[in-house]
């Protein structure tokens, strides 16, 4: 096969040989560049060249002739031919192919190389100066050689041949190949007649880029330096890596703006542009087009106008025939469903119940049944009759058989042995049996008795149903009982301990006072009971109001002697107490007891006050309580009046009298004021006397309309209105208490008595310093805490500083991650973002999630797009909520993508 190819090549060469040879010696400017290129072409090894040398000379000379005649011819496909030729040359080198003999162009033997050179010279002279000078040098050297030989001959006397032989051999050496662009002539290779850059540059003069090219060449010429040795491999790789990094950096950095934009975007829209396609069956069906023949046929039939029409008509007719009203159908279905479900449920329930083995359950079930029966008996006379019959039957049977009357063998045996000899269980069984018997044989009317008695007791609550007489008697009974009890309590409460804390003088005093109060109270109560019992006798009228007595009694004003007359008057004017009230008299007594207690406590409080403040005498406290009694009825009466806007003139007067009748020089001024108040209230109340009305108008209007009305000074007013009332002090005390509770006062350091006190000297030293120090520190801390309280500067305000544990979950425990400033965080959450607080136009933007995507849609990887990093922010603003972007999924995805791009 190799041979065949070679032959082909040879043939080709034959045909193109001429051209080639002609081209070799074309020393035209056009082919200059090519020449330069070809200088690097393959060359034969010098040994081969030498071998073939003789033959080549001949062929070369022949070539010259040919070239002369075909001078000026140029071919466009020169480069191509070179490529073709290259393997040929190689083949020669390898000796696998026959050497080219060039038998076509056999050179004559007398052919000489020198002739050719002259030809060369001529051409060179035409083209370049450098070449010409070289050639002339060559000539000179030949001449020199001749003279030199002659000189040597004359000097040495040796024959000329001895010198010429050397020269001859020199002449013999010639090119192994014919000179072509692939194997340039020797002198070209040696450097003679070289083509310089200038040669190549000159023809370009006047073309675009020329000056630049020249400049660069100048520079390179100036800075000509030797090539360095190649770097070691590791360094080389390093350099390469560096360059690669630069490159990849450039590649990657082009993604930066996109990634940045995505990162900064408040919302990412993924897979927005994906069309999910058909969504409904109808939509899919509407797209259907008949394709096959049968489909077409069917379509033509189905969509035929006539058929459609007919179907329409027929269908409607059929429907009309079939008409069942919607409600009927639904009703039927519902009914059926209900029946079915009921059946099912029932079945299930029955199954379930059947399975239950619990005795308790069955007992309960039985109980229920019995209860139901009893209810039925009450409701249904027939059932009652039935039951009565049944029971009668049972009773009859029992009486007949005496089944449970110790008639069984077992019972007889036990009785014969003696009941006392039996154990507990047996005795119980016998008793049970007897009981059963008794039950069964008991007469019926006993049952009825018990039920009526129970009714009586339960009816007490529903006093409305009872007859008035009954209730009255009951009430009077109750009253009497209450009276007795109070009297007893009065008598009992006389004993006082003679020793201990209670024997201290102030305690005794307090006790006495308490006793007095209690006695008064009791008296009051008794009186009231009396009045009530009186009332009961003549009370017939029923009235709605039930509030009065109870309300008052529980109000806590009972501890004073004052209310007594008022109550009386009240009962006179409003003899309208209901029997319900009467029945609750006992209850009221209970309340009274409570009140007694509370009053006692109040007194005790006062006592403790006295204890605390030594300056205040006992008398003072008495006055205080006195004042209270005076003060209290004021609002009390107004309250009453507000309820009963009818004539209470007399009552008010009574009050006034009562107030006046308290002679006390110390509190007289206060009393006066109090009188004023009562007067006012009285005036308010009275809507019958005109003069009073006027007064009232004056009073009200003067307070409201007349701003210039001269009020006494603030302190005066307070003293007048609430004399002896130490509201402020009490509040301060409370505050102190609360402060102590929340920031407890440190305990005073104490030493154990005798501890560390061996002598009186040590005693003098006092407490150790560390204890004192500790105490001081604790005190200081407390002061600090108190100072930091919100209410530190507000005298009359206590703001609780207790932490609400339940509310703790409503607050943020720690600052959430990106925030570093509390202030910034709290400002950022100040706006509510819910739909209640924002217009609908912005609610979407406020609440949009970080990523918006459709479910089930594949998210495409990020795509490159030009983003102007500077314009981005404004663009974002403009787009606002309706911003649509195609973006990568996550950071991870993005980076993966980036890497991919870099690799590509």
Measured distance CA(720)–CA(108) in Å, rounded: 162
Paired sense of beta strands 268-270 and 851-853, if any: parallel
Candidates 175, 684, 859, 897; binder of other proteins (CB under 8 A) is 684
Identity of the residue, 428 or 842, whose beta carbon is nearer to other proteins in the bound complex:
842
Identity of the residue, 383 or 718, whose beta carbon is nearer to other proteins in the bound complex:
718
Candidates 711, 750, 752, 858; binder of other proteins (CB under 8 A) is 711
Q: How far is the CB of 813 from other proteins (least distance, A)?
A: 6
Identity of the residue, 348 or 873, whose beta carbon is nearer to other proteins in the bound complex:
873
Contact between 554 and other proteins per CB under 8 A: yes
> What is the token pair recorded at 828?
């950022």
Contact between 841 and other proteins per CB under 8 A: yes
Stretch that binds other proteins, among 211-219, 309-317, 380-388, 840-848 (CB under 8 A): 840-848
Candidates 1, 155, 400, 810; binder of other proteins (CB under 8 A) is 810
Measured distance CA(690)–CA(700) in Å, rounded: 15
Candidates 247, 401, 703, 891; binder of other proteins (CB under 8 A) is 703
Contact 852, 237 (CB under 8 A): no
Stretch that binds other proteins, among 217-225, 513-521, 522-530, 541-549 (CB under 8 A): 541-549
Contact between 807 and other proteins per CB under 8 A: yes
Q: How far is the CB of 691 from other proteins (least distance, A)?
A: 12
Contact between 573 and other proteins per CB under 8 A: no
Give the count of alpha carbons within 13 A of 162, CB side only.
9
Classify 587 as helix, strand or coil.
Answer: helix
Candidates 806, 870, 882, 892; binder of other proteins (CB under 8 A) is 806
Q: Can you spell out the DSSP letters for 52-97?
A: HHHHHHHHHHHHHHHHHHTTT---TTHHHHHHHHHHHHHHHHHT-S
Contact between 375 and other proteins per CB under 8 A: no
Total residues at the site for other proteins (CB under 8 A)? 85
Centre a 10 Å sphere on the Cβ of residue 67 and count the other Cβ atoms it contains: 20
Identity of the residue, 337 or 794, whose beta carbon is nearer to other proteins in the bound complex:
794
Q: How far is the CB of 382 from other proteins (least distance, A)?
A: 34
Measured distance CA(144)–CA(140) in Å, rounded: 6
Candidates 66, 123, 299, 845; binder of other proteins (CB under 8 A) is 845
Contact 92, 44 (CB under 8 A): yes
Q: Which of residues 245-284 bind other proteins (CB under 8 A)?
A: 263-264, 266
Q: How far is the CB of 557 from other proteins (least distance, A)?
A: 11
Stretch that binds other proteins, among 322-330, 613-621, 640-648, 885-893 (CB under 8 A): 640-648
> What is the token pair recorded at 778?
């604790």
Q: How far is the CB of 667 from other proteins (least distance, A)?
A: 17
Contact between 786 and other proteins per CB under 8 A: no
Q: b/e string for 385-417 if b means 16 or more Cβ within 10 A? A: eeeeeeeeeebeebeeeeebbeeeeebeebeee
Contact 249, 835 (CB under 8 A): no
Centre a 10 Å sphere on the Cβ of residue 732 and count the other Cβ atoms it contains: 14
Contact between 701 and other proteins per CB under 8 A: yes
Measured distance CA(40)–CA(183) in Å, rounded: 9
Measured distance CA(576)–CA(541) in Å, rounded: 6
Q: How far is the CB of 442 from other proteins (least distance, A)?
A: 41
Contact between 874 and other proteins per CB under 8 A: no
Stretch that binds other proteins, among 2-10, 66-74, 151-159, 788-796 (CB under 8 A): 788-796
Contact 53, 99 (CB under 8 A): no
Q: How far is the CB of 260 from other proteins (least distance, A)?
A: 10
Give the count of alpha carbons within 13 A of 869, CB side only.
9
Contact between 649 and other proteins per CB under 8 A: no
Stretch that binds other proteins, among 143-151, 182-190, 409-417, 826-834 (CB under 8 A): 826-834
Q: Can you spell out the DSSP letters for 114-126?
A: HHHHHHHHHHHHH
Contact between 752 and other proteins per CB under 8 A: no
CA 697 and chain centroid, separation? 63
Q: How far is the CB of 302 from other proteins (least distance, A)?
A: 46
Give the chain's end-to-end CA distance (angstroms, integer): 43
Identity of the residue, 694 or 863, whose beta carbon is nearer to other proteins in the bound complex:
694
Contact between 877 and other proteins per CB under 8 A: yes
> What is the token pair recorded at 585?
């008299």
Contact between 772 and other proteins per CB under 8 A: no
Candidates 709, 772, 779, 864; binder of other proteins (CB under 8 A) is 709
Contact between 696 and other proteins per CB under 8 A: yes
Measured distance CA(788)–CA(792) in Å, rounded: 7
Contact between 421 and other proteins per CB under 8 A: no
Stretch that binds other proteins, among 111-119, 157-165, 209-217, 538-546 (CB under 8 A): 538-546
Identity of the residue, 388 or 468, whose beta carbon is nearer to other proteins in the bound complex:
468
Centre a 10 Å sphere on the Cβ of residue 168 and count the other Cβ atoms it contains: 10
Identity of the residue, 55 or 721, whose beta carbon is nearer to other proteins in the bound complex:
721
Contact between 461 and other proteins per CB under 8 A: no
Q: Based on C-alpha coordinates, what's the Rg of the chain? A: 67
Give Dmax (Cα) for the chain: 195
Contact between 482 and other proteins per CB under 8 A: no
Contact between 870 and other proteins per CB under 8 A: no
Q: How far is the CB of 854 from other proteins (least distance, A)?
A: 24
Q: Which of residues 579-598 bind other proteins (CB under 8 A)?
A: none
Contact between 828 and other proteins per CB under 8 A: yes
Identity of the residue, 51 or 680, whose beta carbon is nearer to other proteins in the bound complex:
680
Q: Can you spell out the DSSP letters for 402-460?
A: -TTSS-SHHHHHHHHH-GGGS-HHHHHHHHHHHHHHHHHHS-THHHHHHHHHHHHHHHT
Contact between 787 and other proteins per CB under 8 A: no
Contact between 792 and other proteins per CB under 8 A: no
Q: b/e string for 605-641 if b means 16 or more Cβ within 10 A? A: ebbebbeeeeeeeeebbebbbbbbbbbbbbebbbebb
**Cβ-Cβ contacts under 8 Å for 735 (sequence gap 6 or more):** 791, 798
Contact 188, 135 (CB under 8 A): no
Identity of the residue, 556 or 893, whose beta carbon is nearer to other proteins in the bound complex:
556
Candidates 424, 494, 821, 868; binder of other proteins (CB under 8 A) is 821
Candidates 447, 503, 824, 899; binder of other proteins (CB under 8 A) is 824
Q: How far is the CB of 229 from other proteins (least distance, A)?
A: 50
Q: How far is the CB of 835 from other proteins (least distance, A)?
A: 9
Q: How far is the CB of 448 from other proteins (least distance, A)?
A: 34
> What is the token pair recorded at 201?
């540059």
Stretch that binds other proteins, among 115-123, 156-164, 315-323, 812-820 (CB under 8 A): 812-820
**Cβ-Cβ contacts under 8 Å for 829 (sequence gap 6 or more):** none
Q: How far is the CB of 779 from other proteins (least distance, A)?
A: 13
Stretch that binds other proteins, among 65-73, 354-362, 450-458, 819-827 (CB under 8 A): 819-827
Q: Can you spell out the DSSP letters for 461-503?
A: T-GGGS-HHHHHHHHHHHHHHHHHHHHHHHHHTT---SSSGGG
**Cβ-Cβ contacts under 8 Å for 64 (sequence gap 6 or more):** 25, 116, 119
Candidates 207, 760, 830, 882; binder of other proteins (CB under 8 A) is 830
């Amino acid at each position: 096969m190799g041979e065949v190819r070679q032959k082909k090549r040879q043939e080709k060469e034959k045909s193109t040989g001429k051209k080639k040879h002609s081209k070799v010696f074309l020393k035209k400017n056009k082919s200059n560049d090519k020449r330069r290129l070809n200088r690097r072409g393959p060359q034969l090894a010098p040994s081969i060249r030498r071998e073939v040398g003789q033959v080549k000379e001949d062929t070369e000379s022949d070539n010259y002739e040919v070239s002369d005649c075909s001078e000026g011819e140029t071919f466009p496909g020169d480069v191509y031919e070179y490529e073709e030729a290259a393997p040929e040359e190689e083949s020669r080198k390898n000796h696998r192919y026959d050497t080219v003999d060039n038998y076509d162009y056999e050179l004559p033997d007398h052919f000489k190389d020198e002739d050719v050179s002259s030809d060369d010279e001529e051409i060179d002279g035409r083209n370049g100066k450098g070449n010409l000078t070289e050639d002339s040098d060559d000539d000179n050297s030949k001449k020199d050689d001749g003279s030199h030989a002659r000189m040597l001959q004359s000097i040495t006397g040796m024959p000329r041949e001895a010198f010429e032989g050397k020269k001859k051999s020199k002449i013999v050496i010639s090119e192994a190949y014919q000179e072509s662009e692939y194997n340039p002539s020797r002198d070209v290779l040696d450097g003679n007649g070289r083509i310089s850059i200038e040669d190549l540059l000159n023809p370009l003069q006047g073309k675009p880029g020329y000056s630049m090219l020249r400049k660069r060449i100048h520079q390179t010429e100036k800075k000509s330096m030797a090539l360095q040795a190649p770097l070691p491999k590791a360094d080389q790789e390093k350099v390469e890596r560096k360059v690669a990094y630069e490159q990849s950096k450039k590649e990657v950095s082009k993604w930066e703006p996109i990634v940045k934009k995505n990162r900064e975007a408040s919302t990412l829209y993924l897979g927005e542009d994906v069309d999910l396609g058909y969504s409904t069956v109808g939509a899919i069906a509407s797209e259907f087009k008949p394709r096959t023949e049968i489909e077409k046929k069917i379509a033509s039939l189905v969509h035929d106008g006539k058929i459609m029409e007919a179907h329409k008509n027929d269908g409607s007719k059929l429907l009309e025939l079939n008409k069942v009203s919607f409600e009927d159908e639904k009703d039927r279905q519902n009914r059926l469903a209900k029946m079915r479900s009921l059946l099912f449920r029932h079945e299930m329930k029955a199954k379930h119940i059947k399975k239950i083995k619990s005795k308790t359950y069955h007992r309960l079930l039985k109980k229920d049944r019995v209860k139901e029966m009893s209810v039925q008996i009450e409701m249904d006379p027939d059932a009652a009759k039935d039951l009565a019959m049944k029971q009668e039957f049972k009773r009859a049977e029992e009486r007949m058989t005496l089944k449970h009357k110790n008639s069984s063998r077992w019972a007889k045996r036990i009785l014969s042995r003696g009941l006392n000899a039996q154990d507990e269980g047996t005795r119980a069984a016998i008793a049970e049996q007897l009981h059963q018997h008794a039950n069964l044989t008991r007469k019926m009317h006993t049952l009825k008795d018990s039920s009526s008695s129970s009714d009586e007791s339960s009816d007490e609550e529903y006093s409305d149903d009872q007859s008035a007489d009954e209730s009255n008697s009951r009430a009077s009974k109750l009253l009497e009982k209450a009276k007795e009890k109070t009297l007893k309590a009065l008598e009992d409460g006389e004993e006082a301990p003679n020793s201990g804390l209670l024997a201290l003088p102030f305690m005794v005093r307090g006790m006495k006072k308490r006793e007095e109060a209690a006695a008064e109270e009791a008296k009051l109560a008794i009186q009231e009971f009396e009045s009530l019992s009186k009332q009961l006798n003549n009370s017939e009228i029923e009235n709605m109001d039930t509030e009065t007595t109870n309300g008052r009694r529980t109000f806590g004003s009972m501890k004073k002697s004052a209310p007594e007359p008022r109550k009386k008057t009240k009962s006179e004017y409003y003899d309208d107490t209901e029997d319900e009230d009467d029945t609750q008299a006992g209850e009221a007594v209970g309340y009274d007891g409570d009140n007694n207690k509370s009053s006692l406590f109040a007194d005790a409080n006062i006592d403790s006050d006295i204890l605390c403040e030594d300056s205040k005498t006992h008398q003072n406290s008495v006055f205080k309580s006195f004042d209270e009694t005076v003060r209290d009825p004021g609002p009390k009466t107004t309250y009453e009046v507000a309820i009963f806007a009818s004539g209470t003139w007399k009552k008010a007067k009574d009050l006034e009298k009562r107030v006046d009748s308290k002679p006390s020089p110390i509190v007289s001024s206060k009393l006066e004021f109090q009188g004023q108040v009562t007067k006012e209230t009285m005036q308010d109340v009275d809507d019958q006397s005109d003069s009073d009305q006027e007064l009232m108008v004056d009073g009200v209007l003067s307070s409201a309309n007349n701003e210039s009305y001269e009020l006494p000074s603030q302190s005066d007013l307070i003293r007048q209105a609430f004399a002896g009332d130490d509201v402020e002090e009490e509040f301060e005390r409370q505050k102190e208490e609360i402060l102590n509770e929340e920031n407890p006062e440190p305990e005073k350091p104490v030493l154990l008595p005798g501890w560390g006190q061996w002598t009186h000297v040590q005693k003098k030293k006092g407490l150790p310093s560390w204890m004192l120090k500790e105490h001081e520190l604790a005190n200081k801390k407390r002061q600090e805490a108190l100072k930091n309280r919100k209410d530190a500067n507000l005298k009359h305000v206590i703001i609780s500083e207790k932490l609400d544990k339940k509310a703790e979950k409503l607050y943020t425990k720690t600052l959430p991650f990106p925030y570093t400033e509390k202030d910034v965080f709290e400002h950022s959450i100040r706006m509510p973002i819910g739909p209640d607080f924002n217009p609908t136009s912005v609610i979407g933007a406020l609440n949009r999630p970080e990523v918006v995507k459709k479910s089930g849609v594949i998210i495409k990887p990020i795509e490159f797009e030009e983003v102007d990093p500077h314009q981005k922010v404004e663009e974002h603003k403009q787009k606002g909520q309706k911003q649509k972007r195609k973006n990568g999924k996550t950071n991870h995805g993005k980076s993966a993508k980036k890497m991919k791009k870099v690799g590509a």
